[in-house]
Homo-oligomer: A and B are copies of this chain.
Amino acid sequence: MSPRLQLKPRKKPSQARSKATVEAILVAAAQLFRWQGYAGATTDRIAARAGVSVGSLYQYFPNKDAILVALAERHIDTGFALVRELLAEALTHVSPLESLLRSFVVAMIALHEHEPELHRVLFEEAPLPSSLRRRLRKRENDLATEVAELLEAHPEVRMRNPRLMAYILVQTVDSLVHNFILHPPKDIDAKSLTEELVRMLDQHLRG
C-alpha cells in the first residue's frame, strides 16, 4: 500500500526464456490492473495469470509498484510515439488550421484508445508513487507544450494569451477525449464529436 522505494528491475532477463516470462508478467499485470484497479491486482494473481510462479515475478520486479512503473513507462512511450507520428504526418505539407486541429484530435483519440483503462489507473488512481504521478503529468504536459508551440506558429492563429489558450486547448481535447473513450454516450459517435470540437477550437484560436 504505502509506496515502495526500490523500483528498478532486480535482475535483467538475458535468455529468451526469461524475456518471455517478463513479457507474460507485464501482459497479465496490464489486464489485471485495468480490470481490478491497483489494489485488486495482487502479485499472486498476476503471476498466476501469467502462468508463472510468484517467485519468478520477484526475480525481475522488486515489488508490486515496480510492475506498475514498468507498465507506465511502456504505455507512455508507445502512446506518445503514436501521437508524434500522427502529428508529423500532418506537418509534411502546410495545412489549414482546421485540418491541423483535426489531426490533433484524432491523435489524442488514438492515444486514449490505446489501453484506456490502464491509462485511467496510471493517471487517476490514488496509491501510486507520487514520483511516478509527477513523471506522467510532466510528459503529458510536454506534449501539450509542443502542440501549443506548433499551433502558435500557424499563420491563421491569433493568440491573445498563448500560455492560457494552449492550456485550454490541450486540456479540453485531452479530457473530452478521455471521458468520451471511457464512458461513451450511446447517441454520440467519435466522428461528430471530432468535427464539433474542431469547429469550436478553430473559431476560438482565430480570436
Q: Is chain A's binding surface mostly helix, strand, loop or mixed? A: helix
Known: A124-B120, A175-B176. Contact between A199 and B204, CB under 8 A?
Answer: yes
Chain B nearest CB: distance from A95 CB in Å?
A: 22
**0/1 interface trace, chain A 177-203, chain B, CB 8 Å (1 if under):** 011100101011000110011011001
Contact check, B165 vs A196: say whether CB atoms are below 8 A apart.
yes
Give the distance in Å from the alpha carbon of A165 to the alpha carbon of B126 in the complex. Answer: 32
Chain B nearest CB: distance from A159 CB in Å?
A: 11
Chain copies in the assembled complex: 2
Give the distance in Å from the alpha carbon of A26 to the alpha carbon of B171 in the complex. Answer: 33
The tally of residues in A whose CB lies under 8 Å from a CB in B reads: 40
Contacts of A175 in B (CB 8 A): 171-172, 175-176, 178-179
Contact check, B192 vs A164: say whether CB atoms are below 8 A apart.
yes
**0/1 interface trace, chain A 105-149, chain B, CB 8 Å (1 if under):** 000000000000000110011110000000001000000000000
Residue A40 lies at the interface, judged by CB distance under 8 Å to chain B: yes
| 8 pairs of A and B residues whose beta carbons are closest in the complex | A37-B126, A175-B175, A39-B39, A200-B204, A124-B124, A37-B127, A203-B203, A172-B172
